[in-house]
Structure 1
Amino acid sequence: MANQVALTSANDLFLGLPRFPGHETTPSVARRNPDGSVVAFPGNSWNEWKPGDDGKNAFVYVNSLHIFADDTVWCVDQGGLRPDASPKELSTPKPGAQKIVQFDPHSGKVLDVLRFGEDTLPTGAQMNDLRIHGSTVYLTDSGLGGLIVHDLSTGKTMRRLSGYKEMLGVVAPTATATATGKSKSKHRTPKSDMIEITQDGKWLYWAAPTGPFYRVATDLLRDARVSDAQLATHIEHVADIPLTGGCAMDTHGNLYLSDLDNKRILLMPPSGKKTVLAANPELVSPDGSFIGADRRLYVPAPQSERTELFGNPKDLTKKPFLILSLELPKKFDGTELGNAVTGQSV
């Protein structure tokens, strides 16, 4: 089951393979070779975690991966299995298991590992996804709701807006509701989840899957002298969105939203107007998207809604798991489309 995809500038493709309920046996991260074969990455003990291991130097639950301007691979490992589907002893990360790991895409060498203390990751926190601009790493926490800002040059980390209403999303009905209105689904909707940063690095965008999308100026977010209460007054409501599994942003500030209920990709320019960019019946549970250097939009379809977690009597997923892609036109419905945001300063 692949829920994340990312590519280097040379089109080396990497996949995030989460230990979703019913799909716990997985190498967690994989790379596609030039001959089309898919192999575990980096191909050693990082891919061999099993229940009972401490998970400090192995993938436990890779929720997202991304590639930026330097072509290195960044993986976000929540360090424990899903708390909505696993016992506490497996869903509670062991010390050091929740981490961010940076790899060389060719050799698989570990370049950096970021681990945070309880002040940054209190009990229940789950790092979800990340974006990098310059030397600053921005992360969403989908467990408690919040943003994490880490400066790679100084090593300083701040937890921001923890538990604020803008981090919690809105309540949405599930697709598995019964005739009585009660859901058989055990799935817990994440809090602050999707994250994007503009090409110039000035605005950080985020949303829970239920929306809305918000944004805040990064200079205020990074300024420790600005309290959370003060920062909250500068949060801007961007747009309400349908139930969304993942997103991407281009250099013109356009957002590409994975519309879960309708198996389609919505284009949302800065104006907030939404247009259907593409639709395909194979887009089942579309998740974390990626714009490649080839100006293609890549969207994984992990079929998570077909698992038992969502109230199905058994796992209904069908192999193969697909990654769909679409060449982005220069213009669509009057909106100019840009290139990939790589985190490189303008």
Structure 2
Amino acid sequence: MPLDRRLLLGTGLAALAAGPARAETPNPVKPGPATASPAPQPAAPPTSRPVGAMELALAADAPSSPTGLALSRNGRVFLMMPRFTGKEPFTLGEALPDGTVKPYPDMATNRFDPKRPQATLAHVPNGVFDRNDTLWVLDAGLPEGKGTPVPGAAKIVEIDVGQNSVRRVIPLSAGVVPDSSLNDLRVDVRDGRALAYVTDQGQEGEGAILAVDLNSGQVTRRLAGHASTQSQKGIVKFVERRPVMRDTGDAPPQSPQGGANGIAISPDGERLYYAPLMGRRLYAVETAGLLDPKVSDAEVAASVRDLGEKGMTGGLTTDAKDRVYLSLQEHNAVGRRDPDGTIAVIAADDRLIWADTFWITPDRWLYISSAQVNRRPEFNGGRDLQQKPYAILRMRIDADPVL
């Protein structure tokens, strides 16, 4: 991608383009004519295993933290920027090739109006494309990032990106509770079915999963109170070699709370992978019973599988080989879990600050957003340490996307 004047946004972009710093190797001292060559020394054991490299796909001059990322089939890049404070100018944007980010589909839709909660966007943390290249956007209904969701504002919005217009709105009011904080979205539109799954991380870490029939609008809240959707106690997340601690006024800083957060769907649509934001274990649940009113909450809970340790993550995704990609936020890295349970770190990059949302393209690029959430004022004594532009990184993989 050419870097023109509009992209040269101070030293931040220069650092992004340069990639992670590398230590220079000093020039070796060559023995002179009268100096005996030193005896060969055994090679030192390696101190780490090499991992893959990532490249800068886009330096996005977003107005706030781009936690969400989705790419259309023709390469259009859409960013979701939650309203953490209510001061963010817009919450859904399109990133242009020069890095400029404009409100999408327009600024009027991004000006939240509590009198028109279905027609305007309050707080968009995530969005995805289906196999028909339709964009589905999740709105948590929190115009200031906290408090009770505005009545009618929590919703899924179906957008025709060819016409840049909203087709339909699916209300989620039946699935939210007063302390809901909807976070991530996956859709499964194929073979006559049209389903969506939403994680609710809860504002105090009490999470759940919402299952949505996109045709009928039926919304069912599942796994509320289950250990797999709750923020785990006593957990500290480290990003950029510092603990992420939320300021609490006069009280000592505390670890943030975060229940069910990242979510991914198996290639056959029969399993949902998910994990709390504040938790180190990965879970899976069978999708068949999530929307079925004949299946009790206890039966749904019985189908949950604890898949073991996976590190501290944000977003998740899967490929067509049923491998789960992990945004390893504590390591500025990307991990991958194979179906047999093996986990490997497949790429690392110092520019990947608060690794968040993945996207896999049909030509087998894995994209991931660097959201810099740990640098936000609420985690740094009121100082905003975020540095624009925000990096969107990518790497080659050997598998197709799920949908």
Q: In the aligned structure 1, how far is the partner of 2:178 from the partner of 2:149?
A: 9
| 1:122 corresponds to | 177
| 1:6 corresponds to | 70
Query: Contact between 1:169 and 1:212, CA under 8 Å: does it hold in 2?
Result: no
| 1:333 corresponds to | none
Equivalent of residue 46 in structure 1, options 106, 109, 112: 109
Q: In the aligned structure 2, how far is the partner of 1:160 from the partner of 1:139?
A: 10
| 1:339 corresponds to | 400
| 2:286 corresponds to | 217
Give a deviation string over 1:284-328, Cα, whole Å, max 9, x none: 111111112221111111111011211344111111111111121
* Equivalent residues in 2 for 1:16-31, closer than 5 Å: 16-21=80-85, 24-31=87-94
Query: Contact between 2:367 and 2:392, CA under 8 Å: does it hold in 1?
Result: yes
The answer to whether 1:233 aligns with 2:233 is no
Give a deviation string over 1:109-149, Cα, whole Å, max 9, x none: 111111133x4212112222121113111111111311111
Amino acid at match of 1:163: G
Give the drift of 1:156.
2.3
Q: In the aligned structure 2, how far is the partner of 1:241 from the partner of 1:252?
A: 18
> Any idea what SS the aligned residue of 1:5 has?
strand
Equivalent of residue 97 in structure 1, options 153, 157, 176: 153
Query: Contact between 1:140 and 1:148, CA under 8 Å: does it hold in 2?
Result: yes
| 2:197 corresponds to | 138
| 2:262 corresponds to | 194
Query: Contact between 1:6 and 1:13, CA under 8 Å: does it hold in 2?
Result: yes
Q: In the aligned structure 2, how far is the partner of 1:259 from the partner of 1:36?
A: 25
Q: In the aligned structure 2, how far is the partner of 1:8 from the partner of 1:190?
A: 29
Assess, with a 3 A threshold, how the Cα gap between structure 1 residues 321 and 187 changes in structure 2: closer, same or farther. Answer: farther
Give the drift of 1:239.
2.2
Q: In the aligned structure 2, how far is the partner of 1:176 from the partner of 1:188?
A: 8
Give a deviation string over 1:74-104, Cα, whole Å, max 9, x none: 1111111223xxxxxxx33221112111111
Equivalent of residue 167 in structure 2, options 111, 135, 147: 111
| Largest Rg, 1 or 2 | 2
Query: Contact between 2:170 and 2:214, CA under 8 Å: does it hold in 1?
Result: no
Amino acid at match of 1:320: P
Give the drift of 1:53.
6.7
Query: Contact between 2:129 and 2:135, CA under 8 Å: does it hold in 1?
Result: yes
Unaligned runs of 5+ in 1: 84-90, 331-337
Give a deviation string over 1:240-261, Cα, whole Å, max 9, x none: 2211121211011111111111
Assess, with a 3 A threshold, how the Cα gap between structure 1 residues 197 and 56 changes in structure 2: closer, same or farther. Answer: same
> Any idea what SS the aligned residue of 1:219 has?
coil
Give the drift of 1:56.
3.8
| 2:340 corresponds to | 271
- TM-score w.r.t. the length of structure 1 is 0.86
Give the drift of 1:35.
6.3
Query: Contact between 1:187 and 1:309, CA under 8 Å: does it hold in 2?
Result: no
Assess, with a 3 A threshold, how the Cα gap between structure 1 residues 316 and 183 changes in structure 2: closer, same or farther. Answer: farther
Query: Contact between 1:176 and 1:183, CA under 8 Å: does it hold in 2?
Result: no
> Any idea what SS the aligned residue of 1:45 has?
helix
- TM-score w.r.t. the length of structure 2 is 0.74
Query: Contact between 2:245 and 2:256, CA under 8 Å: does it hold in 1?
Result: no
Query: Contact between 1:54 and 1:95, CA under 8 Å: does it hold in 2?
Result: no
| 1:334 corresponds to | none
Q: How many residues align?
A: 321
| 1:155 corresponds to | 217
RMSD: 2.3
Give the drift of 1:44.
3.6
Q: In the aligned structure 2, how far is the partner of 1:147 from the partner of 1:315?
A: 32
Amino acid at match of 1:248: T
Give the drift of 1:203.
0.9
Amino acid at match of 1:121: V
Amino acid at match of 1:78: A
Amino acid at match of 1:41: Y
Equivalent of residue 377 in structure 2, options 303, 308, 314: 308
The answer to whether 1:293 aligns with 2:356 is no
Query: Contact between 1:186 and 1:310, CA under 8 Å: does it hold in 2?
Result: no
Query: Contact between 1:176 and 1:184, CA under 8 Å: does it hold in 2?
Result: no
